A and B are shown apart, each in its own frame.
Chain A
């Protein structure tokens, strides 16, 4: 692979052929198996898929936070501002973590340190990356807490995490993540652990702040409704691979992959649920240990063909940056070659 990277920054982040495997006793788990995508400045990109499809692992790989062992990034490049994150030494990597790329995790209940005051945790984040006094850092932290809508921030900042509700804690996480004006915010299912009424507030907050601070966002979710409201582009992941990539509007209007089609159909709708039956994709996601070289979705696909059982489909460009990996769209030549 060409190790030199072009000096164009139009893409904030470029993930190229990323492969993250987990070496377990049962075999090699190919959690992320050769995915590529890019993120432009100010863009909000959604990554959707079922549990275990590799969406969180993808984003932990970007931050190089994969627990190792057993996890290992075996191949690929993650180009951020012209440098490959995967090739950086530890001290330069720390300069990116929390400073240029920061993360908001799924469970705000456990993601904040229960033993330390919010003030300690926020000041520390700022002072790792900026050479300012504790007092200035505290002032900045309070300002960030106000920005995310924590009432009486001047007092609440000296509280411990357990004195906040789940939604408030997620706000604190967001404030902390954005306190160094990160260029990219990775939000890993930021609303999954929260009350439905709080979910919308948190998503709105992320949207508002990313616009204001011109932060690019990668939003990981299994909720297609969330994607529709927030993201310009969407990657659909299945069994460690991106099966479809498109602008959000296109994806909803013309889902190309049968899996995406199924996902969209499964979103419960008030106007269609009168006869009571909800749509679901039959079967289970495949075990990603020692996956054979076929289309991993074929056992659940209603349009399955013979070739799907034998070979992984090529990625087909449908135009208007809509890409899909499915034999249904393969050229006759590729079919013949296969």
Chain B
């Protein structure tokens, strides 16, 4: 197992190198550049800027220079924001997105698994229909609809929570709640549906019949015998979902005024801000690769039939 973990961790390195290389070249293939404006800049100015950011060098040299910086942990200067470099923007906003994401995914795990299990155990009753109806709402209603509705009800009508803001800006910890619930909705829905179907599958299996024939209570059958097996699909869903949610959501950040990482995914692309684009891609892929690795380890902890050598 230890050997496997070390091998997997080493395997992450080439994966990341490939991702960085691909995104480095792909962003440069896209038409337009970071300094294109409505009004064309004078030739001399343009050449000066390009020289400053080494854009006048051959692509391979630029690539080598960039890789050298990245390996030392420097993601380079932003081509658009002049005050700070890419490292600063990412590591200032990432913790905010992470806090929000962790809270959101915790909410969706707790409510998703419990309502999915209830739905499976009480299949074809009102409990089942209610939680699955809620899940369909969660899947089909977009965030930019859920967010204002929650703001309207809980902030404007009831006055329980602030409409927007963020605690690092001095707006109080309550600002986390509404965006977290909003963000939790989609994953809650998917987890609830996954849990329900996988629980139903497990409850139909032979070993559950054996447990019943042994005289076990239904509650202990569900928690002792059915839980482990039915959690496998949820675990594999959670890996990428977690990576996605803690790297921020542009919609939720905009609606609730949160200084998160999500907006950089969108803005950097519009701006052709090459280094910032590749920077957020690197952060996202590091998290994703680590999550997938954790999923595999958790899998082997849950299922004794899976062993890694």
| A positions within 8 Å CB-CB of B | 63, 65, 67, 94-99, 102-103, 105, 107, 110-117, 124-125, 128-129, 160, 162, 173, 176
Q: Give the residues in chain B near A176, CB-CB below 8 Å.
A: 214
| B positions within 8 Å CB-CB of A | 204-207, 209-217, 224-225, 228-229, 302-305
Establish whether residues A162 and B225, one from each chain, have CB atoms under 8 Å apart when the complex forms.
no
Max chain A C-beta neighbours (<10 A), residue from B213, B228, B302: B213
CA distance A95 to B216 in the complex (A): 9
On whether A98 and B305 interact (CB within 8 A), knowing A110-B205, A116-B225, the answer reads no
On whether A129 and B207 interact (CB within 8 A), knowing A114-B304, A115-B304, A116-B225, the answer reads no
Establish whether residues A105 and B216, one from each chain, have CB atoms under 8 Å apart when the complex forms.
no
CA distance A98 to B303 in the complex (A): 26
Establish whether residues B210 and A111, one from each chain, have CB atoms under 8 Å apart when the complex forms.
yes
Rank and list the top 9 A-B pairs by shortest CB-CB distance, nearest first: A98-B214, A98-B215, A97-B215, A110-B206, A115-B228, A113-B207, A160-B304, A94-B215, A103-B213
Establish whether residues B207 and A99, one from each chain, have CB atoms under 8 Å apart when the complex forms.
no
On whether A65 and B212 interact (CB within 8 A), knowing A110-B206, A114-B304, A115-B304, the answer reads yes
Establish whether residues B305 and A113, one from each chain, have CB atoms under 8 Å apart when the complex forms.
no
Establish whether residues B210 and A94, one from each chain, have CB atoms under 8 Å apart when the complex forms.
no
Expressed in whole angstroms, the minimum distance between the Cβ of B200 and any Cβ of chain A is 12
Q: Which of B207, B213, B304 contacts A97 (CB 8 A)?
A: B213
Max chain B C-beta neighbours (<10 A), residue from A97, A107, A112, A176: A97
Establish whether residues A128 and B303, one from each chain, have CB atoms under 8 Å apart when the complex forms.
no
The DSSP consensus for interface residues of chain B is helix
**Interchain residue pairs with CB less than 8 A apart (21):** A63-B212, A65-B213, A94-B216, A97-B212, A98-B213, A98-B215, A99-B215, A102-B214, A110-B206, A111-B206, A111-B210, A114-B229, A114-B303, A114-B305, A115-B302, A115-B304, A116-B225, A124-B214, A124-B216, A128-B216, A173-B210
Q: Give the residues in chain A near B303, CB-CB below 8 Å.
A: 114-115
On whether A113 and B211 interact (CB within 8 A), knowing A94-B217, A162-B304, the answer reads yes
Expressed in whole angstroms, the minimum distance between the Cβ of B215 and any Cβ of chain A is 4
On whether A97 and B214 interact (CB within 8 A), knowing A112-B207, A114-B304, A124-B224, the answer reads yes
Q: Which residue of B lies closest to A63 (CB)?
A: B213
Expressed in whole angstroms, the minimum distance between the Cβ of A276 and any Cβ of chain B is 39
Establish whether residues A115 and B216, one from each chain, have CB atoms under 8 Å apart when the complex forms.
no
On whether A65 and B207 interact (CB within 8 A), knowing A102-B214, A113-B225, A115-B302, the answer reads no
CA distance A176 to B213 in the complex (A): 11
Expressed in whole angstroms, the minimum distance between the Cβ of A302 and any Cβ of chain B is 39
Expressed in whole angstroms, the minimum distance between the Cβ of B117 and any Cβ of chain A is 16
CA distance A160 to B5 in the complex (A): 23
Q: Give the residues in chain A near B302, CB-CB below 8 Å.
A: 115
CA distance A130 to B23 in the complex (A): 64
Q: Give the residues in chain A near B229, CB-CB below 8 Å.
A: 113-115
Q: Give the residues in chain B near A102, CB-CB below 8 Å.
A: 213-214
On whether A129 and B213 interact (CB within 8 A), knowing A105-B206, A115-B304, the answer reads no
On whether A65 and B214 interact (CB within 8 A), knowing A115-B228, A115-B304, the answer reads no
CA distance A32 to B217 in the complex (A): 27
Q: Give the residues in chain B near A103, CB-CB below 8 Å.
A: 210, 213
Expressed in whole angstroms, the minimum distance between the Cβ of B217 and any Cβ of chain A is 7
On whether A105 and B304 interact (CB within 8 A), knowing A94-B215, A113-B225, A128-B216, the answer reads no
CA distance A116 to B208 in the complex (A): 12
Expressed in whole angstroms, the minimum distance between the Cβ of B307 and any Cβ of chain A is 10
CA distance A105 to B205 in the complex (A): 12
